[in-house]
């Protein structure tokens, strides 16, 4: 972003690009480009505007390839070679390993040509940002943006620590019960601390999150929602600036260190263009509401899952009676 006119043009073009979510622009791309945040992370495909479409494409191709043995995206005769290779892999690997490999290959293939995903890299280059990717699951990827070269070895260390944790930990102790988790790193104090620090979160908030995660207590959002409710019951209000980016949970809803980051972000964005400051301020209210309503959102999700399960069981019962 060199030169005032170029900055204004770039800002408007990015602001109007529908391939990038507004919160991604305001929470990640602009703040890192402005040097306010050392790094930012996106979850792919969740942070793509059409991430659900990508998920459906992956599901369709995976089902066809895994259960039928064909891939509609691969033309003949290459499809025959793919089919023979898959048959060989299925014969020498475990069902879980084979499934994971097919999912990963299909996801990568679809992602490599997905416009909204590629748009993120185009904008990173225009803004002078570097990128780093970490595979979290076969169909989930973290995409980091950073500007300072010193951040790269910290991200590489984070990725290395995640791999190490996953080699040795797959079960956590939660509510007195051993529970399998596909994300054991989320409950490791050092990993949570490394991740929060590289993303520029306040030290007090990083320490609180790392301690709570390691103790396997209620999710941070549940704790924060209870704090917000207690504040409001006492006639006080949380500080929206403490919830300075989506997905971040401060150690307290009125944390001064977190709010200071929020004010700095707002000032930097407004200095680039007043509209960015206004959009960012409105986003803060959404972040706060998302955390305050977290228990309610969990209940709604559980109810939807229960309804889907009951519908599925009813369908099975109906099929059995028809048979």
Query: Distance (Å, rounded) from C-alpha 281 to C-alpha 29?
Result: 16
Residue with the bigger pLDDT between 97 and 304: it is: 97
Summary mean pLDDT of the chain: 89
Rounded to 5 degrees, φ, ψ at 265 are: -60, -45
Proportion of the chain above pLDDT 90, given as a percent: 69
Q: Is 64 inside a domain boundary?
A: yes
- Torsions phi, psi for 179 (to 5 deg): -125, 130
What is the phi/psi pair of residue 143, to 5°?
-120, 115
* CA separation, residue 8 to residues 1, 160, 276, 279 (Å): 9, 39, 11, 16
What is the DSSP code (8-state) at residue 172? E
Confidence tier at 9 by pLDDT (50, 70, 90): confident
Q: Mean pLDDT, to the nearest integer, of 49-74? A: 90
Say what the pLDDT of residue 138 is: 94
pLDDT the model gives residue 256: 98
> Does any domain span residue 247?
no
Supply the pLDDT for residue 214: 85
pLDDT band at 185 (very low <50, low <70, confident <90, very high): very high
Question: Both ends of the chain: CA-CA distance in Å?
Answer: 67
For residue 323, pLDDT beyond 80? no
39-44 and 130-137 strand pairing: unpaired
Cβ neighbours of 68 (radius 10 Å): 10
Closest CA to 101 of 60, 137, 76: 137
Identify which of 21, 14, 8 has the alpha carbon closest to the alpha carbon of residue 247.
21
Nearest to 287 by CA among 248, 257, 258: 248
Which residue range is the domain that position 89 belongs to? 19-32+41-146
Q: Which of 103-112, 192-201, 311-320 comes out lowest in average pLDDT?
A: 311-320
Note the pLDDT tens digit of each residue in 73-127. 777 676 778 788 888 988 998 999 999 999 999 999 999 999 999 999 999 999 9
Strands 140-146 and 130-137: antiparallel
The tens digit of pLDDT for each residue in 246-283 reads 999 999 999 999 999 999 999 999 999 999 999 999 99
| pLDDT (0 to 100) of residue 5 | 43
Over residues 60-67, mean pLDDT: 91
Task: State the DSSP string of 234-302.
Answer: TT----GGGS-STT---SSTT-HHHHHHHHHHHHHHHHH-HHHHHHHHHHHHHHHHHHHTHHHHHHHHH
Residue 233 is assigned to a structural domain of this protein: no
Residue 80 domain-assigned (yes or no)? yes
Position 7 pLDDT exceeds 90: no
Does residue 128 surpass a pLDDT of 50? yes
Range in 1-10, 31-40, 157-166, 185-194 the model is least confident about: 1-10
Contact 48, 210 (CB under 8 A): no
Would residue 260 count as lying in a domain?
no
Helices (H), 4-133: 4-15, 22-24, 30-33, 51-63, 78-92, 95-111, 115-126
Q: Is residue 315 part of a domain?
A: no
Q: Which residue has the higher pLDDT, 299 or 104?
A: 104
Give the pLDDT of residue 167.
87
Task: Name the more confident of 300 and 264.
Answer: 264
3-state secondary structure of 52: helix
Is 86 a domain residue?
yes
Does the pLDDT value for residue 4 go beyond 50? no
| Residue 79, in any domain of the structure | yes
- Percent of the chain whose predicted confidence (pLDDT) is above 70: 87
7 HSE (CA, 13 A, CB side): 13
Nearest-10 Cα torsion for 305, 309, 311, 316: 160
Spatial contact of 209 and 220, defined as CB atoms under 8 Å apart: yes
Q: How many domains does the chain have?
A: 1
Report whether 7 contacts 1 (CB < 8 A).
Answer: yes
pTM, to two decimals: 0.86
* pLDDT value of position 2: 46
């Amino acid at each position: 972003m060199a030169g005032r006119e170029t900055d204004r043009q770039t800002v408007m073009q990015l602001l109007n690009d529908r391939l990038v979510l507004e919160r991604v622009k305001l929470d990640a791309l602009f703040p890192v480009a402005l040097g306010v945040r050392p790094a930012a992370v996106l979850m792919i495909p969740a942070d793509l505007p059409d991430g659900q479409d990508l998920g459906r494409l992956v599901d369709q191709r995976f089902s066809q390839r895994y259960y039928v043995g064909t891939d509609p995206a691969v033309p003949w005769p290459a499809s025959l070679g793919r089919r023979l290779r898959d048959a060989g892999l299925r014969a020498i690997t475990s069902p879980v390993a084979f499934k994971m490999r097919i999912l990963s290959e299909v996801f990568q293939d679809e992602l490599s040509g997905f416009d909204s995903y590629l748009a993120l890299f185009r904008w990173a280059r225009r803004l002078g940002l570097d990128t780093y990717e970490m595979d979290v699951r076969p169909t989930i990827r973290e995409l980091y943006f950073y500007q300072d070269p010193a951040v790269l070895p910290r991200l590489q260390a984070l990725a290395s620590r995640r791999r190490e944790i996953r080699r040795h930990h797959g079960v956590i102790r939660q509510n007195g019960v051993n529970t399998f988790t596909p994300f054991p790193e989320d409950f490791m104090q050092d990993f949570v601390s490394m991740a929060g620090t590289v993303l520029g979160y306040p030290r007090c908030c990083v320490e609180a999150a790392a301690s709570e995660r390691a103790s396997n207590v209620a999710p941070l959002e549940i704790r924060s929602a209870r704090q917000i409710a207690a504040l409001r019951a006492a006639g006080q209000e949380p500080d929206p600036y403490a919830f300075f980016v989506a997905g971040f949970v401060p150690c307290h809803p009125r944390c001064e260190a977190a709010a200071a980051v929020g004010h700095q972000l707002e000032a930097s964005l407004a200095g680039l263009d007043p509209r960015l400051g206004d959009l960012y301020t409105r986003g803060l209210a959404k972040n706060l509401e998302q955390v305050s309503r977290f228990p309610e959102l969990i209940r709604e999700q559980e109810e939807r899952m229960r309804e889907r399960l009951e519908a599925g069981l009813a369908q099975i019962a109906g099929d059995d009676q028809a048979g």
